[in-house]
Amino acid sequence: MYCLGIESTAHTFACSVVELTNGRGKILSDIRSIYKPPEGAGIHPREASRHHAEQSSAVLSDTLIAAKINLGDIDAIAYSAGPGLGPCLRIGAVVGRCLAAYHKKPLVSVNHAIGHLELGMFLTGAKDPLVLLVSGGHSMILALSNGKWRVFGETLDITIGQLLDQFGRAVGFASPCGARIEELSMQSNNYLHLPYTVKGNDVSYSGLLTAAKRFVSSNKLQDVCFSLQETAFAMVAEVVERALALCNKKELLIVGGVAANKRLANMLNNVCKRQKTKFLVPPINYAGDCGAQIAWTGILQFRAGIKSNIEEAFVRPSWRLDTVDITWKN
Amino acid sequence: MMLIKKGAEADIYLVMWYGKKAVMKIRKPKNYRNKILDEEIRKKRTLHEAAMLSNAKKVGVQTPLLYFVDLQNTEIIMQYLEGKLVRDTLSRNLHICKKIGIYAAKLHKNNIVHGDLTTSNFIINNGNLILIDFGLAYYSDRTEDKAVDIRLIKEIMRSVHATIFTKAFNNFIKGYESIIDSSMTSKIMKKVTEIERRGRYARVV
């Protein structure tokens, strides 16, 4: 079967076609268009949704051409229903509903965060992992048990992506700022004292953000970036290690946009060695938001008989992933 | 010296201390962490743990006896207590949650915040409940800090003990209320909800 996935939760509008033959999945195409806010500014939901609306038909047709497939041959259409920015989500949902209605195809609502987890497991072959989901929208440690993804640790306030982006924007970078901060931090080795806040299995980043912003005026930017990364990532690494010790999983899978950061991967790799755990990272081009995560999860859900009526295919901007019943796994 | 457990924070060894079985907890350097940061964290936690092990005892919470602290090597030697982790026995032993609630309340009543209230930090030793791992403990009279403590045990019950979450957490509250009066308890519980709502996409929880 073939599934078309549509992703539009935040800055990325993306489509992808994934094929399933004999129980094996294959990504046939994956095309994205990313909204870029001006330097020093964050995602403006209205501007981002305008970008998505303008780019949607080009992205969709490029996706179908790259997959060498016609819409008529698609078996199911999956769209990202949340969590995310309402105006952005609505564009993807409108595209999904229109295509499903016009071509009389089944429609599947996919939770964007579950999409990250499922695609990560698909690409790495993870079987029963502890998952670290780190992105602009999430900083969570999860494991599947009794039909739901259970949270073993998370941020109590802002996410690690928000920490990096908001700090970056304060010093005039363009969002997303992670790559730029990583680049600058590699030019320093001078650790400045920043607040390190681990609360049991959870972290809190708001104090760190405030402190790092204050440091900018009186310190070298490279030093602040270096110290920010060292502190923030060490906090995540510690809670991951705590969660690993708590739930005895033999695999750690990292997914989400921040998974692209090399320093973080390096720290987690070290944690996994200490805890004798396999460390799994999906290919870097699938770390961030993409259509494939929606298409692949769409296939899994469709196979398990989970579909949405077009009249009820809404968006859910605050759809927490630990509320989703995972009925498509044994 | 025998390694009993390689924990997230520290390695736990079984040693002999003046002819008695004892536990040695060493916070070894973590080479993924920046050196300055790492040393600071390890020293601070060793010191906090040593002090709080005794302070908790004073307020009626059973903890291992402290034998020796070596701050330079970030190591603590304490009483060895045989037993099982509550994490592994909770489903057969739900009433223990009430006792956990009582312990949490005794600490909070005396402004001690444990900082890592998980079911793997409680041991049942000859029917007695023992609380361990005070590395993240500190003094605070803020409702917020006490609520964070409760939020963690709630999160753990909801994830590690998903099938018995509701009963387990209700028992916890019952125990908590029996020590801290119910108006204060409901104030703290309100704060727990507030903290949960601060979380990402938490409106639906």
DSSP result, B127-167:
TEEEE---TT-EE---HHHHHHHHHHHHHHHHHTTGGGHHH
Q: For B154-194, write each residue's pLDDT tens digit.
A: 999 999 999 999 999 999 999 999 999 999 999 999 999 99
Whether residue A185 is found in the same domain as residue A219: yes
Residues in chain A with CB shorter than 8 Å from the CB of B194 are none
Whether residue B116 is found in the same domain as residue B190: yes
B203 vs A201, A246, A318: nearest CB: A318
The predicted structure's pLDDT at residue B203: 59
Whether residue B74 is found in the same domain as residue B89: no
Whether residue B97 is found in the same domain as residue B198: yes
The predicted structure's pLDDT at residue B205: 40
Consecutive 10-residue averages of pLDDT for chain A (330 residues):
97 97 96 92 94 98 98 97 96 98 98 97 96 94 94 94 96 91 96 95 96 97 98 97 91 94 95 95 93 98 96 94 90
Q: Which domain holds residue B174?
A: 84-204
Upper half-sphere CA count for residue A286 (Cβ side, 13 Å) = 24
Whether residue B97 is found in the same domain as residue B196: yes
Measured in angstroms, the CA of B33 and the nearest CA of chain A are apart by 6
The domain tally of chain A equals: 2
The predicted structure's pLDDT at residue A330: 62
pTM: 0.92
The predicted structure's pLDDT at residue A248: 86
| Residues 85 through 124 of chain B touching chain A, CB cutoff 8 Å | 87, 115-118, 120
Whether residue B66 is found in the same domain as residue B126: no
Closest-CA residue of B relative to A244 is B8
Last residue of a domain, one of B79, B99, B131: B79
Whether residue B91 is found in the same domain as residue B113: yes
Whether residue A137 is found in the same domain as residue A245: yes
Cβ of B33 within 8 Å of Cβ of A234? The answer is: yes
Cβ of B32 within 8 Å of Cβ of A191? The answer is: no
Residue A93 belongs to a domain with what CATH number?
Answer: 3.30.420.40
Whether residue B53 is found in the same domain as residue B126: no
Cβ of B8 within 8 Å of Cβ of A238? The answer is: yes
Which DSSP category does A73 fall into? G
B162 vs A150, A196, A242: nearest CB: A150
Cβ of A201 within 8 Å of Cβ of B198? The answer is: no
Whether residue A179 is found in the same domain as residue A208: yes
Whether residue A197 is found in the same domain as residue A277: yes
Q: Which domain holds residue A143?
A: 128-285
d(CA A100, CA A159) in angstroms, rounded, equals 34
Whether residue A252 is found in the same domain as residue A298: no
| A188 in a structural domain | yes
Instruction: Copy the structure tokens of residue B58.
Output: 């004073």
Which residues, including other chains, have CB under 8 Å from residue A54's CB and lie 6 or more apart? none
CB contacts < 8 A (A, B): 119
Residues in chain A with CB shorter than 8 Å from the CB of B36 are 191, 193
d(CA A46, CA A88) in angstroms, rounded, equals 8
Pairing of strands A76-82, B20-26: unpaired
Whether residue A291 is found in the same domain as residue A267: no
- Judged by a CB distance cut-off of 8 A, whether residue B193 touches chain A is no
The domain tally of chain B equals: 2
Closest-CA residue of A relative to B198 is A157
Closest-CA residue of A relative to B134 is A200
Whether residue A41 is found in the same domain as residue A162: no
Instruction: Copy the structure tokens of residue B174.
Output: 């019952």
Query: Is omega for the bond preceding A176 within 30 degrees of 0, making it cis?
Result: yes
Mean pLDDT of B1-29: 93
Whether residue B145 is found in the same domain as residue B181: yes
A155 vs B7, B117, B200: nearest CB: B200
The predicted structure's pLDDT at residue B204: 43
Whether residue A159 is found in the same domain as residue A203: yes
Whether residue B92 is found in the same domain as residue B157: yes
CA A187, chain centre distance (Å):
28
Whether residue A60 is found in the same domain as residue A193: no
A200 vs B37, B118, B204: nearest CB: B118
Whether residue B37 is found in the same domain as residue B115: no
| A173 in a structural domain | yes
Whether residue A95 is found in the same domain as residue A148: no
The predicted structure's pLDDT at residue A175: 83
Catalytic residues of B: 116
| A223 in a structural domain | yes
Give the end-to-end CA distance of chain A in Å, rounded to a whole number.
21
Residues in chain B with CB shorter than 8 Å from the CB of A196 are 37, 41
Helix (H) or strand (E) holding A106: none
Cβ of B200 within 8 Å of Cβ of A159? The answer is: yes
Residue B115 belongs to a domain with what CATH number?
Answer: 1.10.510.10
Quick one: which of A286, A284, A281 has its CA closest to A296? A286
Residues in chain B with CB shorter than 8 Å from the CB of A201 are 116, 118, 152, 155-156
The predicted structure's pLDDT at residue B14: 97
Whether residue B74 is found in the same domain as residue B133: no
d(CA A312, CA A17) in angstroms, rounded, equals 24
Residues in chain B with CB shorter than 8 Å from the CB of A200 are 115-118, 136, 148-149, 152
Whether residue A296 is found in the same domain as residue A281: no
Measured in angstroms, the CA of A314 and the nearest CA of chain B are apart by 15
Whether residue B193 is found in the same domain as residue B94: yes
SS3 A34: strand
Quick one: which of A159, A160, A168 has its CA closest to A225? A168
| A81 in a structural domain | yes
Q: A222 burial class (0-12, 13-18, 19+ CB within 10 angstroms)?
A: middle
| A330 in a structural domain | no
> Length of chain B in residues, anyone?
205
Last residue of a domain, one of B79, B98, B125: B79
SS3 B54: helix
Residues in chain A with CB shorter than 8 Å from the CB of B202 are 318, 320
Measured in angstroms, the CA of B19 and the nearest CA of chain A are apart by 31
Whether residue A105 is found in the same domain as residue A137: no
Q: For B82-109, write each residue's pLDDT tens digit.
A: 999 999 999 898 999 999 999 999 999 9
Measured in angstroms, the CA of A264 and the nearest CA of chain B are apart by 9
Residue B50 belongs to a domain with what CATH number?
Answer: 3.30.200.20
Q: Which residue of A185, A318, A319, A321 to mutate against B (max B Cβ within 10 Å)?
A: A318
Give yes or no for a contact between A59 and B177, defined as CB atoms under 8 angstroms apart: no
SS3 A36: coil
